[in-house]
């Protein structure tokens, strides 16, 4: 049977005794303290709890960042992929083509988008050996989005076959910027959360050490 030693006379009492049988000293506080783990164990438990909380905070932060930034990252990668593929295709097609200048003369296939902006395809004229040809770049934009002049690459054997600047370089640059910004935001927030978690851990551990 467990016993409690009296702090006054040293007599071994039953752990259910309230007072020492020998000298009458109260034993309640001894019984209560014997039911709790020591301060060191509490410190270890609290430190583990703080570490676990920090890990959960990092996981939650990562999940939130992925939810918010993933669509932008995917859009940026898509811009890069589409523009790169189109540029490569145009370059391969026009490898042996000659260049001339095309002038914006009209718009076609105009329609209004959901925001009420008029979206069109620009019509350019270019002249080869005194003959005027018309063509449109493979892009849709507002009227102000088209340059007044553009470079036209044409097949010298058949000037009706042409490649115009379709603005893919602008899309490529936009995609690269989006991806870079998303990566910077992701890394910056992760570093901030890591430093904040470390600071909280250090404060919690210091408090545990000072309380022991």
Q: Please tell me the distance from the alpha carbon of residue 135 to that of residue 140, in angstroms, as a whole number.
A: 13
Q: Do 145 and 93 form a contact (C-beta atoms < 8 A)?
A: no
Count of domains for the chain: 2
* pLDDT for residue 76: 93
Give the HSE-up count for residue 16: Cα atoms under 13 Å, Cβ half-sphere.
1
**For the purposes of burial, counting CB atoms within 10 Å of the CB of 46, is it exposed (0-12), middle (13-18) or buried (19 or more)?**
middle
Q: Please tell me the distance from the alpha carbon of residue 63 to that of residue 59, in angstroms, as a whole number.
A: 6
Task: Give a yes or no: residue 129 inside a domain.
Answer: yes
Task: Give a yes or no: residue 117 inside a domain.
Answer: yes
- Tell which residue, 195, 194, 177, 176, has the closest CA to residue 62: 194
The encoded tokens of residue 166 equal 């379709």
Greatest C-alpha distance within the chain = 126
Residues in the chain: 212
- Tell which residue, 132, 136, 137, has the closest CA to residue 169: 137
Q: Please tell me the distance from the alpha carbon of residue 91 to that of residue 192, in angstroms, as a whole number.
A: 44
List all residues 6 or more positions away from 54 whose beta carbon is below 8 Å from its beta carbon. Answer: 197, 200, 201
For residue range 103-149, list pLDDT tens digits in order: 999 999 999 988 888 999 999 999 999 999 999 988 888 998 888 99
Task: Give a yes or no: residue 132 inside a domain.
Answer: yes
For residue range 182-211, list pLDDT tens digits in order: 999 999 988 888 887 777 666 655 555 454
- pLDDT tier at 34 (50, 70, 90 boundaries)? very low
Sign of CA dihedral 34, 40, 46, 51: negative
Task: Give a yes or no: residue 62 inside a domain.
Answer: no
In what helix (H) or strand (E) does residue 172 lie, and over which residues does it extend? helix 168-211
Q: What is the mean pLDDT of the chain?
A: 81
pTM over cut 0.85: no
For residue 10, the enclosing domain spans 1-36
Task: Give a yes or no: residue 113 inside a domain.
Answer: yes
Task: Give a yes or no: residue 72 inside a domain.
Answer: no
Task: Give a yes or no: residue 44 inside a domain.
Answer: no
Task: Give a yes or no: residue 196 inside a domain.
Answer: no
101 phi and psi angles, rounded to 5 deg: -100, 135
The encoded tokens of residue 98 equal 């000659």
């Amino acid at each position: 049977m467990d016993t409690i030693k009296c702090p006054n006379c040293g007599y071994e009492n039953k752990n259910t005794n309230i007072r020492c049988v020998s000298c009458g000293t109260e034993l309640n506080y001894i019984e209560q303290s014997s039911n709790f783990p020591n301060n060191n164990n509490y410190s270890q438990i609290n430190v583990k709890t703080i570490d676990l909380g920090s890990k959960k905070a990092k996981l939650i932060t990562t999940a939130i960042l992925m939810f918010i930034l993933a669509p932008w990252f995917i859009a940026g990668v898509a811009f890069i992929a589409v523009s790169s593929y189109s540029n490569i295709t145009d370059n391969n097609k026009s490898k042996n083509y000659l260049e001339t200048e095309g002038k914006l003369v009209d718009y076609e296939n105009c329609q209004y988008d959901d925001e009420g902006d008029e979206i069109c395809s620009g019509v350019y004229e270019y002249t080869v050996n005194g003959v005027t040809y018309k063509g449109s770049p493979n892009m849709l934009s507002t009227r102000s989005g088209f340059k007044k002049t553009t470079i036209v690459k044409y097949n010298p054997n058949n000037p009706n076959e042409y490649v115009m600047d379709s603005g893919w370089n602008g899309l490529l640059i936009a995609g690269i910027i989006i991806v870079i910004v998303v990566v910077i935001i992701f890394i910056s927030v992760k570093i901030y959360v890591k430093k904040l978690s470390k600071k909280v851990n250090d404060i919690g551990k210091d408090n545990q050490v000072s309380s022991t």
